[in-house]
Structure 1
């Protein structure tokens, strides 16, 4: 049996409400195709703020989503995959 390991990237998450936090996200979360909290709920997904990745210049912003049922966003230093 093989297990798939998804690569993660450290980003600054700026939720709609609350202070910015550093978290780990997958490509699916970064591109708005999966809940930023890492929950595996069926859609719909709703806007949940932005994450910012480091670049050689200014940070690059990405719109992220969360489950419409109000799942809890990740906390600083936690892996967003639960």
Structure 2
């Protein structure tokens, strides 16, 4: 879900993980700014929120993706 601009690290560059709080439920989780985040492995892909929101935790992402799929399949 996070809008990433690149996933390759430069030689010697340190991982830049960040701690996030899910905007939907408040659960804390980690994210790697280089794209090595758990969400990259999720089959569900959603656009970034237009209002400038941030990432969702795994459970909320899956719920939001299911709701999006239901809404767009009608």
TM > 0.5 fold call: no
Name the structure where helix makes up a greater proportion of residues.
2
Q: Which has the larger radius of gyration?
A: 2
What is the TM-score with the length of structure 2 in the denominator?
0.29
More strand by share: 1
